[in-house]
Amino acid sequence: MNRPEQPLLEARQVSKSYVLGRRSLEVLKGIDLQIGRGEFLALRGASGAGKSTLLHLLGGLDDVSSGEVLLEGQRLSGMSRSQLSRLRNGRVGFIFQAYLLLPELDALENVCLPARMARTRSADCQRRAQTLLERVGLGQRLDHKPYELSGGEQQRVAIARALINEPDVILADEPTGNLDSRTGQSIVDLLCEIQQESRAALIIATHDARLAARAPRMIELLDGRMMPGSQLPG
């Protein structure tokens, strides 16, 4: 008898609260979630629903208040700071709405940065970064600084940067939020194409119903809770 495959990423009764002055703000409330290798999942909800917070917890950028997050059965809350840093650098690729590119570095250097932090040889870093930038249509923009690029081009650099260490999980937080609809559509097409090729798990947080509908599976968050039935295919 075959055993069921272990989830790549799992949240078990995850809650998150923040202390603001004398009061506590509960952002997430008892989230249960399993994500398989190669799966494409959309987190949908209005601003303040808890989408970004959940992404940060799944990627080890923040600590849970209660419950646990596991990557291939290993609890993130049981890791040291250095272990979490290595995990984020090597196994998780983050794509942020605000791009978060370093303004003093050009496109190639921004993409190389996570690989350099992983102590990859400089020549290998540059070779892979150039290949990725060519893959996202920026082969002629390698030496351009972020301020010399459009919003869509900066997001493409951010996508290449997220892929440089061949992550198992790609977490994208409102990746089209700062883009016009046409550019946003091209970014989504690119993400879907890359996800299918790499077989990484792709989790996109969005308030856009059209973007969420591209995912085979959608989860709806409302006031920090997962809506009943929202794990069904979208």
* Proportion of the chain in helix, strand, coil states, percent, rounded to 5: 35, 25, 40
Tell me the CATH architecture of domain 40-62+85-226.
3-Layer(aba) Sandwich (3.40)
**Alpha-carbon gap, residue 123 to 114, rounded angstroms:** 14
Rg (Cα) of the chain, in Å, rounded? 18
Strand, helix or coil for residue 172:
strand
How far, in Å, are 78, 106, 220 from residue 67 at the CA level? 12, 40, 20
pLDDT of 47 strictly over 80: yes
Stated pTM of the model: 0.91
At 108-148, the pLDDT tens digits run 999 999 999 999 999 999 999 999 999 999 999 999 999 99
The pLDDT of residue 2 = 52
Instruction: Name residue, tokens 């290449």.
Output: 160
At 178-199, the pLDDT tens digits run 888 888 888 888 888 888 888 8
pLDDT of 234 strictly over 80: no
